[in-house]
Structure 1
């Protein structure tokens, strides 16, 4: 049998044979002769020949293997082992980081920083998460506060008006199962602020409380009721209070609104909640006419929110707050559509619509929808006319010419 002869490998660059012991391996895994390998760059760290090196902040040139663990600066493109996060931009090296300012709250570098009350500057993330505008001016203050240092000394205050984030344990009034929570935003003349607060507290008793709210400028408060069913609200809310507040000069305008919280437990099922959400969003024109306020930045009739109605009915709450129906509260849906008012019929109509829209959709069947146009406003109006307990709503609809 003939003896086998080993053939020397060929250089992968020039194809010439090369003795096995003299083969040079590159970082990329190529096998070259010494002459071809000599023409390649060598890594400044491992000294291996390589076809590609990358510059670092230390002005060294490393191969791909030695570059593992290094990161590229998003600004100068040089690689570094000391990377800095920048809010609003790519991560950068230490040299490029010197062009950015640090947030005084989180310590991160940021493209833009914003001045806040007290003189510090914060990044856009902290500004969004932790700050809001002063209730009287545009100075950024902590969310749990109401006024900046300058306005605090001049703004009227009252021990009976709680901070914005005040939320006591709810006291339920009536028999349910559907409970409504009224939020009524009211503006007051500064000189009448104390009188208005005292008057409101004297009439409300334990049914409601007063809060500050940044949207009520330059002076005023938000009247917030504890949960109550519709019959209790109509019979027991102190409706003459609204007239007394008007006599004190209190007023409402396009900047303030009425929000009605509707208890989730008042719905029979997710399917019922879905029918209700869909009914409100399908009838934007008559609903906004009734609300005396068209879709706005505070209560938007968003096509996207309408498309997500089924998910929201099933409990999905990751949505923007300022929609016609805010689905973020865990225990309620917040109907945000109404313009504020100190006219009893208009406030009663807001409560009545919240209640009737839920009741109307409670037993709305596929046959009602397919054969009797149950989604349409005219079907709802016909249903409403047979229920005199909701007369404030029908009267308001007729006054606004949206009762057909």
Structure 2
């Protein structure tokens, strides 16, 4: 706002000097006058550009004045100040950044939901709006119309990358594993490969497009499985069938394993698991059979492990493409493994995820001081666990069993 040249010189409200010179009004403090030297150092609101005494950090990483944040409240997710026009299905305010990362937009009420359901044909709805939809007679998927959902009517289909149906849990929890296996597929047998994969998978999984697979291919995604159910009921012969049809894997395609957060005892257990993996990067990458820019061991994520162990909400600001992706609401995604059509390699990836969680479940401070975080201690423990035989065999083959 315009300032006046005064014939008298009241003390500057900041430095208290009374030297001759202009005095300037502070925009957010009526009656407060400052000298020219202090005026040019006042912070500027990033919204209205007023020069003020203090600014407040808000959810979108801006610094705003108190006038611009009048009536703002804490985001239900990150707790930082945000406007109130965006709401969740529970009526809580949510900032734009958290809404985009951690919530789904309900196509019926246009509110954001942390527990949405898939609707046949595309889109998601909050649990409240789900009550107005019919369900598929075969699998329970919500329907816009008809009696059978699109997944049930089109089993032999490769869905778009954003496709995320309601999970179907297989086996006994609380630890469930979800596998994403990227496969390079030849053009001449693409249709045969899709048919073979969907026929073998049944209701255990589905296929998705993935533009990172070159020249072309698909991502085989399973529904959540207990480790035992995966070993006993995943159609392992499918890997041989795909290989005979000309499918390939190499270091450019990955095998990702999601582990349910509910499978951990507490945040401290998650932290112990993260520490085991981060402290043994060399051995883990040997077992994974690759280092990839899609799954680096991120230093910032390692430094923030104590926070991300508590909740996915603390992942903001970190990279998604890292060795352990903490962004999913209900899982932790282990992204380190190279894809494979070898049964032992794939089973070992599942076994390592389950075994490392099992191993760190009971670790205590005395165990850690005695060397329990050393790879050799973990490897020795694996050799005493018959359930994890695929992992023991793979570690032996890759010379990382000690």
TM-score by length of 2: 0.62
- Unmatched runs of 5 consecutive residues or more in structure 2: 10-20, 24-35, 37-43, 45-100, 102-121, 123-154
- Residue equivalent to 1:310: 306
> Which of 349, 372, 375 is the matching residue for 1:374?
372
| Pair 1:199 & 2:196 matched | yes
Structural mapping, 1:341-356, within 5 Å: 341-356=340-355
Q: Is the 8 A contact 1:163 1:212 kept in 2?
A: yes
Mapped to 1, the partners of 2:4 and 2:219 lie a distance apart of 70
1:209 & 1:302 partners in 2: Cα distance? 30
Deviation sequence 1:301-342 (CA, Å, 0-9, x none): 112211111001011221210110000000000000000001
1:31-66 CA distances to partner (integer Å, 9 max, x unpaired)? 69xxxxxxxxxxxxxxxxx989xxxxxxxxxxx9xx
Offset at 1:27?
2.6
Q: CA deviation at 1:368?
A: 0.6
Deviation at 1:222, TM superposition (A): 0.2
Aligned position for 1:299: 295
Q: Deviations over 1:17-40 (max 9, x none)?
A: xxxxxxxxx9321369xxxxxxxx
Partner of residue 184, structure 1 = 181
Structure 1 residue aligned with 2:98: none
Maintained 8 Å contact 2:156/2:198: no
Residue pair 1:193, 1:219 contacting (<8 A) in 2 also:
no
Give, in whole Å, the separation in 1 of the partners of 2:157 and 2:22. Answer: 76
* Aligned-pair CA distance for 1:278: 0.8
Distance (whole Å) between structure 2 residues aligned to residue 28 and residue 333 of structure 1: 62
Provide the aligned C-alpha RMSD in A.
2.5
- 1:27 aligns with 4
1:391 equivalent in alignment to 2:368: no
1:237 aligns with 2:214: no
State the number of aligned residues: 262
In the alignment, structure 1 segments of 5+ residues that lack a partner are 1-25, 33-49, 53-63, 65-71, 73-128, 130-143, 145-157
Q: Does 2:226 align with 1:249?
A: no
**What does 1:40-189 align with in structure 2 at a 5 Å threshold?**
160-189=157-186
Cross-structure match for 2:209: 212
Secondary structure at 1:224 match in 2: strand
3-state SS of 2:357 partner: helix
Q: Is the 8 A contact 2:308 2:326 kept in 1?
A: yes
**Is the Cα–Cα contact under 8 Å of residues 182 and 255 in structure 2 kept in the other structure?**
yes
Deviation digits for residues 244-280 of structure 1 (CA, Å, limit 9, x no counterpart): 1000000012211000000000000000000001111
Superposition deviation, residue 159 in structure 1:
5.7
Which residue does 1:277 correspond to in 2? 274
Structure 2: distance between partners of 1:303 and 1:243:
38
Instruction: Decide which structure has the larger Cα Rg and report it.
Output: 1
Give SS of 1:338's match: strand
Matches within 5 A, 1:326-365: 326-365=325-364
